[in-house]
Amino acid sequence: MNAEAAASGGTVTNRVTYREAAREAIRAALRADPRVFLMGEDVGRYGGCYAVTKGLLDEFGPERIRDTPLSESAFVGAGIGAALGGMRPIVEIMTVNFSLLALDQILNNAATLCHMSGGQMNVPLVIRMATGAGRQLAAQHSHSLEGWYAHIPGLRIVAPATIDDARWMLSAALACPDPVLLFEHIFLYNLEGPLAAEIGGIDIDRAAVRRPGRDVVLITYGGSLHKCLTAAEHLAAQGVEAEVLDLRTLRPLDDQTIMDSVRRTHRVVVVDEGWRSGSLAAEITTRIVEQAFYELDAPVCRVCTAEVPVPYPQHLEEAALPNPSRILAAVRQVLAHGESP
């Protein structure tokens, strides 16, 4: 936040990066509530693998900005325990790729304790993770597993894809009595844009239409949002008005807003960086068939990552991931469907 914004307050907007917005969200949370503390690998001295937490150690000290050893199961479990014990921890898992080492704690403890204890205990924990591919980090560092976590009852899963969401979603997540997993796609950190100074009541329950349209809806989240917006601009030049729907919350899914878009456009493309089989895109497609079957003028089309471990070379990675070209091809397909052969 540069000086003149802070000084004037009010609704003046200034230009920040997604990274700075995310940092400001953590800073504001730490200031607002003494129970809040941050824990994760290299979040302190190193300043965060993606530099989101740079400078927080100097401002809040080592007790509330806690570097951990490379012991994901231990420090995520510790986050759960601290939440049970009355704190409001923010745990950073460097990337979703390392969260697999803490999957047991997340699934069998964080997500399950409330129900297992008959509602006596809830886990007000927020876990932040970087996610996604596109920086040639190869197979083990390029996973998109939001769909896995969105499968687990007891967890809330959110994916801030805009600078405003990066800034304001965290407070809503911290206020939630249940564990919230917040996914930050690595492509978004350098995103720069205006940040509204004060947005009251940002929720984590609703999807958002980022671009209204008429002929087709692109349903997406996180790192794929901006690919869809790019595709939508190309389509507009062709006279095709594409609606772009940012899911924002992946569990629970905002069925109401999804079906509204389907009713307006009758043609659907779901863009999801996960692998197609058993993906979030599969779940969304099934719900549309269950709830808006007669609104469909064409089968739902999905654009997902090719079912391969993400390869290192740029041209193979690009071919594997959803990209505007593949989104445009999918739109052509749903628009052509059903026209006279």
Which residues, 59 to 98, sit near other proteins by CB under 8 A? 67, 69-74, 97-98
Closest to other proteins by CB, 303 or 331: 331
Residue 248 or 267: which CB sits closer to other proteins?
267
d(CA 81, CA 125): 9
Which run of H or of E encompasses 149? helix 146-149
51 forms part of the interface with other proteins (CB under 8 A): yes
With binding defined as CB under 8 A, does residue 313 bind other proteins?
A: yes
Candidate list 164, 165, 184, 215; residue touching other proteins; CB under 8 A: 215
Instruction: Please check whether residue 331 is in contact with residue 240, taking contact to mean a CB–CB distance below 8 angstroms.
Output: yes
Q: Under 8 Å CB-to-CB from 247, ≥6 apart: which residues?
A: 159, 207, 219, 220, 221, 253, 254, 258
- As given in the structure block, the two tokens for residue 173 are 């997540």
DSSP code for 162: S
Shortest reach from residue 125's CB to other proteins, in Å = 20
Which of these is catalytic: 20, 41, 72, 92? 72
What are 13's two structure tokens? 């907007």
Q: What part of residues 216-255 is at the interface with other proteins (CB under 8 A)?
A: 230, 234-235, 237-241
Residue 115 annotated among the catalytic residues of the structure: no
Choose between 156 and 266: whose C-beta lies nearer to other proteins.
Answer: 266
Q: Is 241 a catalytic residue?
A: no
Q: How far is residue 31's CA from residue 21's CA, in Å, rounded to a whole number? A: 15
- List binders of other proteins among 92-131 (CB under 8 A): 97-98, 101
Q: What contacts 318, CB < 8 A, 6 or more positions away?
A: none
Give yes or no for residue 19 binding other proteins (CB under 8 A): yes
- Cβ pair 174, 182 in contact under 8 A: no
Interface with other proteins, residue 135, by CB under 8 A = yes
- Provide the annotated active-site residues: 72, 141
